[in-house]
Chain A
Amino acid sequence: MIRRLMTTCAALLLCAALPAQAQLRILATTSDWGALATELGGDKVDVYTATTALQDVHQVNAKPSLVARARTADLVVANGAELEIGWLPVLLQESANPKIRPGSPGFFEATSAVRLMDVPTSVDRSMGDIHSQGNPHIQLDPRNIAAVAQALTKRLASIDAANAAYYHARGADFQARWTAAMARWDALGAPLRGARVVVIHKDQAYLSRWLGLQQVAAIEPKPGVPPSAGHLAELVTKLSASPPRMILRNAYNDPKAPEWLSKRIKAPVVTLPFSVGGTPGAKDLFGLFDDTLDRLLAAAR
């Protein structure tokens, strides 16, 4: 019995000894950072994205396929700021891959490249699902994408030094296209400045800051805590007098509460992709912002 197991072990060990793939293997936790890694790494990288835009990244499980992917990853591109706290630490532990341990060059956190909003001065779970390091949903401000891209380019170049020039060239190309796109988005988004919006929770903080949207209320009384009937009724009373321009909802959010509110306060619900892949239009990072602005502008018209 034991001998048979040993033989199997040995056979699998031989598989392990097969030459590693030439491409840099990247495990990205969200579709946004997966898309960015693809933009910057081109054909030198093999990117696997752990979640889709339709999933609440906080709720993911350390499922077997992810453990296997983490085992062979050269680089983990995570969001950070505790967004993946429920599953990434388990994944890193189970994968037995020292390359991607936090603190190693093979572990990159997007939030490490930007200044976070809403850093709480004190934390307590009675406040709901808050993140002690600040608001982790940084991807909806294009300036953050530019900052993360710069840091990630550097990281790619240092891990895969043989292709450093390639990464720097791609990085520069991306920054040029991104800067041009940002100028366009800034112009497009100008009419939205000052628009009063209702949000689900803090996911839109960075988008609001960038476009100058004014968040007048949140559907969740506390982050991660679904609204009670009483809270919704309160919102109706509060907002009926001066209805907001729109109610923002992410593709992965439950549509019920925002639609219920929409009917009563006469404000449209705008479904935003939130992440690459959240809507058919948000195919890549450029599409994410094109589609987000299209949808906001259509609702504001």
Chain B
Amino acid sequence: MGKIPFHVSVAACAAALLPSIGQAASDADVEALRAELARVKAEYAERLAKLEAQIDQLQPNPGVGTTAAVDQAAVAAPPAEPEAAPAPQAARSASTFNPAISLILAGNYSNLSNSPEDYAIQGFVPAGDEIGPGERGFNLGETELTIAASIDPYFMGSMTVAITPENEIEIEEAYFRTLALGEGFTVKGGQFFSSLGYLNEIHGHAWDFVDQPLVYQAFFGGQMAVQGLQLKWIAPLDFLVELGVESGNGDYFPGTRQDQNGLNGVIAYGHVGGDLGDSIAWRAGVSYIDLDAEGREFEDRNAAGDDVLNAFSGSSETWVVDAELKWTAQGDPRRQYVKLQGEYMQRKEDGDLSYTDAVSSLDGGYSSDQSGWYVQGVYQFLPRWRLGARYDSLDSGNTKIGLVQDGLLTAGDFPLLLPGSPTRTSLTLDWSPSEFSRLRAQYAWDDASAGPADDQFFLQYIYALGAHGAHKF
């Protein structure tokens, strides 16, 4: 009621008291600033008064809210609980605006029957160094630090860095995201895990197995982190319909950065999801990734056993289909659940493949049509215990290498690209003493390399410190 007059009068007083700055030179800006200052002062005075009133209101009401006062409270008729919310009890200090920080500690013990040096996914161009089961013996995993907060009413920011056991700091994600676009739109920019498929966005500590499915390793080198922008839209419907496009510099497998100012390629995806009754939640999606590569290099060993460097230039188109389903025993207090998921990917590449050994450098055509999929299920059979199984299967297709077709080289000069149909079967058992810790054992029979199958056994720990993690679907 008296709010506006009070406001105005204080503003007027403050304005009057301000020393005049010589000839005002009709400076509207100065006037505006003065008015603003006065308004802010008035607002603070008002707020202070309100807070004082609240404190007064709270003081003579010690009974309610303490366990010691059970008796009074029980006898009392409904006490006059302060209707205005009591001021939050958190300490107001310089640290109030500190971002949420969380730290993941992880590590494992690996027992591998084959040397990881020889690991390759037969028939597929190596997609970086994060493929394969990792090193033998005890390994420190990636120590992952996430810092995130709202920036202002319009943006939030988040950074996740991984400190690798090699003492390198690797940016996993560092992005801003809009908060206030409305109408279901968000824009994200910087470096972020692409929303393609299902697993791509999920950080390592939240995986249900020690490692990524083979198809993710072969097609995206584990996970695709886009450097660029994402636009996402959610439809105003009672079930989930989410559409998004992403584009950036293309410097992520299967693309490469290019010597151009424009964007390289596009990633587009759509997801739908909903519930089937009270117990089942599902989601499914389709993603399309179109990227260009320019001199995407990989090392191989030619028929003579010499190291060679190959490079692909051309276009790469990938389709991903994903589906997830989670069943939770509603009435079952032991919180049993089953989570099933599967993804299928297909990739076509078309362009040139160059071959460089110690003496010569050759160039020819290249085309491939490759596919792969995995299905996995995780069953929580007791509150803290989960069992999981996963099957991976890839088909390298028949890659056409111009240099081989022209008879300049033999297929044996590209041993990594010899046709293959890698498979892997994994079983896992994990125990989570609390929401913040997980211990896992995993066995995998990995027949991805050209040689004999690899028996892999892992023991892993994952601990989460700090800010509470998110229960993503």
Interface of A toward B, CB cutoff 8 Å? 1-2, 5, 8-9, 12-13, 15-16, 20, 52, 54-56, 59-65, 67-69, 71-72, 82, 85-87, 89-90, 93-99, 101, 112-119, 125, 129, 133-134, 142-144, 146-147, 150-151, 179, 182, 186, 193, 205, 208-212, 214, 224-226, 252-255
Contacts and interface: CB of A to CB of B under 8 A. Distances in A.
B270 interface: yes
A12 B183 CA distance: 12
Contacts of A63: 273, 275, 281, 326, 473
A95 B234 contact: yes
Interface residues of B, number: 76
B236 A96 contact: no
B85 interface: yes
A144 B85 CA distance: 12
Contact of B74 (A68, A205, A210): A210
Contact of A255 (B79, B326, B333, B471): B333
Contact of B236 (A72, A133, A144, A255): A72
A115 B237 CA distance: 37
Interface string B18-59: 000000000000000000000000000000000000000000
Given A150-B83, A209-B67, A67 B333 contact: no
Contact of A9 (B66, B243, B275): B243
Nearest to B240: A64
Interface in B53-81: 64-67, 69-71, 73-75, 77-79, 81
B436 A125 contact: yes
21 contacts: A13-B233, A15-B237, A16-B184, A56-B335, A60-B471, A64-B273, A64-B274, A87-B471, A93-B177, A98-B180, A117-B67, A133-B89, A143-B78, A143-B79, A146-B78, A208-B70, A209-B74, A211-B74, A212-B70, A254-B333, A254-B383
Contacts of A82: 468
B180 A65 contact: no
A68 B64 CA distance: 39
Nearest to A150: B83
A63 B186 CA distance: 19
Contacts of B274: 64-65, 68
B159 to A, nearest CB: 16
Point out which of A209, A210, A253 has the most chain B C-beta atoms below 10 A from its C-beta.
A209
B471 A61 contact: yes
Contact of B270 (A8, A93, A115, A226): A8
A17 to B, nearest CB: 9
B384 to A, nearest CB: 8
Contacts of A16: 183-184, 235-236
Contacts of B330: 52, 54-55
A213 B88 CA distance: 28
A208 B180 CA distance: 43
A114 B81 contact: yes
A209 B70 contact: yes
Nearest to A67: B240
A151 B85 contact: yes
A64 B436 CA distance: 24
Interface string B301-336: 000000000000000000000000010101101110
Interface of B: 64-67, 69-71, 73-75, 77-79, 81-83, 85-86, 88-90, 156, 177, 179-186, 232-243, 245, 266, 268, 270-275, 278, 281-283, 288, 290, 326, 328, 330-331, 333-335, 383-384, 434-436, 468-473
Contacts of A101: 179-180
A86 B471 contact: yes
B346 to A, nearest CB: 13
Given A62-B473, A65-B239, A95-B234, 18 more contacts: A5-B268, A59-B335, A61-B471, A63-B326, A63-B473, A64-B274, A65-B238, A68-B237, A86-B435, A96-B185, A96-B232, A114-B81, A117-B65, A125-B436, A133-B89, A209-B70, A209-B74, A254-B334
Nearest 8 A/B pairs, CB to CB: A64-B273, A212-B74, A64-B240, A115-B65, A63-B281, A112-B85, A90-B470, A147-B81
A12 B243 contact: yes
A228 B435 CA distance: 17
A129 B180 CA distance: 33
B330 to A, nearest CB: 6
A117 B66 contact: yes
B44 to A, nearest CB: 19
A31 B363 CA distance: 67
B472 A5 contact: no
Given A68-B274, A212-B74, A5 B238 contact: no
B366 to A, nearest CB: 22
Given A56-B335, A96-B185, A113-B85, A68 B73 contact: no
Given A62-B473, A63-B326, A113-B83, A15 B235 contact: yes
Given A1-B288, A9-B243, A193-B74, A86 B86 contact: no
Contacts of B90: 133
A224 B437 CA distance: 14
B88 A115 contact: no
Nearest to A135: B67
B472 A61 contact: yes
B434 A209 contact: no
B434 A68 contact: no
Contacts of B66: 117
Nearest to A64: B273
A93 to B, nearest CB: 8
Nearest to A21: B236
Nearest to B239: A68
A245 to B, nearest CB: 16
